[in-house]
Amino acid sequence: MMEWWVIVEALIQLPPIIWLCSLGPMGWLKLLISLLIVSLSYYYLVLPLNWKRDLSDVSYSHEARGKSKCQAVRDVRRRRKLGNLPPVYPNGWFMLLEADLLAPGQVRHVAALGENFAVFRTQEGEVHVLDAYCPHLGANMGVGGAVRGDCLECPFHGWRFRGSDGKCTAVPYSEKVPEFAKVKRWESCEVNTVIFVWYHAEDEPPSWRPQDVPNVKNGVWHYRGRSEFMINSHIQEIPENGGDLAHLNAIHGPSVLAGSDLHSVERLITSFARHVWSATWAPHEEPDMAHAATMRLQHEVRLFNKLSLVSMNVRAEQIGPGYVEMYLDTSLGPLFIVQCVTPIEPLLQRVVHRIFCPPLLSIYATFVLVGEAIMFERDIMVWNHKKYEDKPLLVREDRAIQRHRRWYSQFYSDNSPRFSFLRENMEW
């Protein structure tokens, strides 16, 4: 039987055709297994993780019962009681794109916050966000448009609009550009590998901005992967988990090995390990930081509820209505996660997590991101089906929930749009 080192020697010493012909059946089998192991190792251990779940991928399998998951989603969205919802689009900074998805000279269309955006990057790397629709005849400039210098060119008639202020700079078939010809420019910034847009129902300018994390900006922490989820809920339900301290040991206590399905997380085979959580939440008291709040978590994995196996301290900075920075101090070293929540529709949220770490913790960061994704899917199973209770029945230990709601209310204003029932909003 040909051993693996013989194959290696053949690879080194013989021309490819000769050693391939001399391998024999067992040699071919070992070679294929080796290639499979190398490929899987590269995919899972070297490439950044991309954990992506669509709306029908989480929490609807038990609703299907002989019908497709998409139909199950539509049925749940149609019959679910919504409650007295807060305004659907808060004021603040929201992610439109992950920065690595927009190359120099590229434009992309993004629909979010009840708006349509054309997001483009100049060849020099500067990002601009304009209203997607050309004021000439309404073409979507994010679909087929072209980047010309610092301008975006409409694909329909070639009108060009400057990214810095939205003014029209050229009409190719006209001798004169109308002075009033312009498209709305949206305030934007690129921070921590994310492209944000400023949304405000009263059109007020930004009162604060997300800030670069030095270890991400200077490359000390490397990007190791992402997770992306579509969630059937109001946006406020998601950050409100920060004030809901009691849910941690209820939903996130069972071992991550039990998976994300709440119907079966308490499995006997995985009950030997549990996650134990303690946490606090408080808004910042500084006047210039009123838009921020901090959640501190202590997390450990216990075997048989006695032996502490892994511990972790987390500081989660909620910055505005849809952005969180999570600093993880683990027993193996530091990790960093950004969470971005973007309202695509009134009851449809896109949530993206991106994880960063020192180079030597790459594999560990991948496992942490997988575990975080599984735990997050447990929350999604609740969010996808729950009703918003504007007057919840609370006990004294739930006081952080009401405190969180008072803090979050600052992101709504008089003209913040309210949810109105439309059939289109229930279709997916």
* CATH code of the domain covering residue 340: 3.90.380.10
**What pLDDT band is residue 30 in, cutting at 50, 70 and 90?**
low
Structure tokens at 99: 């920065």
Structure tokens at 251: 């939903």
pLDDT single digits (tens) 309-344: 788 999 999 999 999 999 999 989 999 999 999 999
Q: Are residues 135 and 170 in the same domain?
A: yes
Tell me whether residue 14 is in a domain. Answer: no
Q: Are residues 283 and 335 in the same domain?
A: yes
Query: Which residue is listed with tokens 């209770």?
Result: 389
Q: What is the CA radius of gyration of the chain?
A: 25
Q: Please give the pLDDT value at position 392.
A: 94
Question: How far, in Å, CA of 401 to CA of 111, rounded?
Answer: 31
Q: Are residues 76 and 101 in the same domain?
A: no
pLDDT single digits (tens) 280-305: 999 999 999 999 999 999 999 998 87
Examine the fold and report which residue of 175, 199, 223 is the final residue of a domain before the chain moves on: 199
| Nearest partner of 259 among 173, 391, 370, 144, judged by Cα | 370
Q: Are residues 148 and 171 in the same domain?
A: yes
Q: Are residues 280 and 415 in the same domain?
A: yes
| Nearest partner of 44 among 375, 367, 359, 354, judged by Cα | 367
Phi-psi region of 192 (alpha: psi -120 to 50; beta: other; left: phi over 0): left
Question: How far, in Å, CA of 174 to CA of 159, rounded?
Answer: 10
Tell me whether residue 331 is in a domain. Answer: yes
Structure tokens at 368: 């942490």
Q: Please give the pLDDT value at position 38.
A: 60
Q: Please give the pLDDT value at position 273.
A: 87
Query: Using an 8 Å Cβ cutoff, are 357 and 221 in contact?
Result: yes
Phi-psi region of 10 (alpha: psi -120 to 50; beta: other; left: phi over 0): alpha
The sign of the dihedral angle between the CA atoms of 390, 396, 397, 399 is positive
pLDDT single digits (tens) 44-92: 566 899 999 999 888 887 776 777 888 888 888 888 899 999 999 999 9
Question: How far, in Å, CA of 7 to CA of 5, rounded?
Answer: 5
- Residues with Cβ within 8 Å of 138's Cβ and at least 6 positions away in sequence, in order, are none
Question: How far, in Å, CA of 283 to CA of 266, rounded?
Answer: 34
Q: Are residues 265 and 173 in the same domain?
A: no
Q: Please give the pLDDT value at position 59.
A: 82
Q: Could you give the number of structural domains in the chain? A: 2
Tell me whether residue 209 is in a domain. Answer: no
pLDDT single digits (tens) 10-21: 555 545 555 556
Examine the fold and report which residue of 165, 199, 233 is the final residue of a domain before the chain moves on: 199
Q: Are residues 132 and 71 in the same domain?
A: no
Q: Please give the pLDDT value at position 331.
A: 87
Tell me whether residue 167 is in a domain. Answer: yes
* CATH code of the domain covering residue 137: 2.102.10.10
Q: Are residues 77 and 99 in the same domain?
A: no
State which residues form the domain around 180: 92-199
- H-helix or E-strand containing 217? helix 214-217
Cα distances (angstroms) measured from residue 305 to each of 51, 180, 252, 272, 277: 30, 69, 15, 8, 12
Query: Using an 8 Å Cβ cutoff, are 243 and 404 in contact?
Result: yes
Question: How far, in Å, CA of 192 to CA of 215, rounded?
Answer: 10
Tell me whether residue 271 is in a domain. Answer: yes
pLDDT single digits (tens) 133-156: 999 999 999 999 999 999 999 999
CA dihedral 340, 341, 342, 345 (to 10 degrees): 160
Q: Please give the pLDDT value at position 423.
A: 42
Tell me whether residue 25 is in a domain. Answer: no
Tell me whether residue 12 is in a domain. Answer: no
Work out the average pLDDT over 210-232. Answer: 96
Q: Are residues 264 and 178 in the same domain?
A: no
Length of the chain: 428
Q: Please give the pLDDT value at position 209.
A: 96
Question: How far, in Å, CA of 223 to CA of 365, rounded?
Answer: 10
Q: Please give the pLDDT value at position 268.
A: 64
Query: Using an 8 Å Cβ cutoff, are 298 and 317 in contact?
Result: no
Tell me whether residue 144 is in a domain. Answer: yes
Q: Are residues 279 and 385 in the same domain?
A: yes
Examine the fold and report which residue of 199, 223, 241 is the final residue of a domain before the chain moves on: 199
Query: Using an 8 Å Cβ cutoff, are 243 and 403 in contact?
Result: yes
Q: Are residues 100 and 181 in the same domain?
A: yes
Q: Are residues 132 and 80 in the same domain?
A: no
- H-helix or E-strand containing 427? none
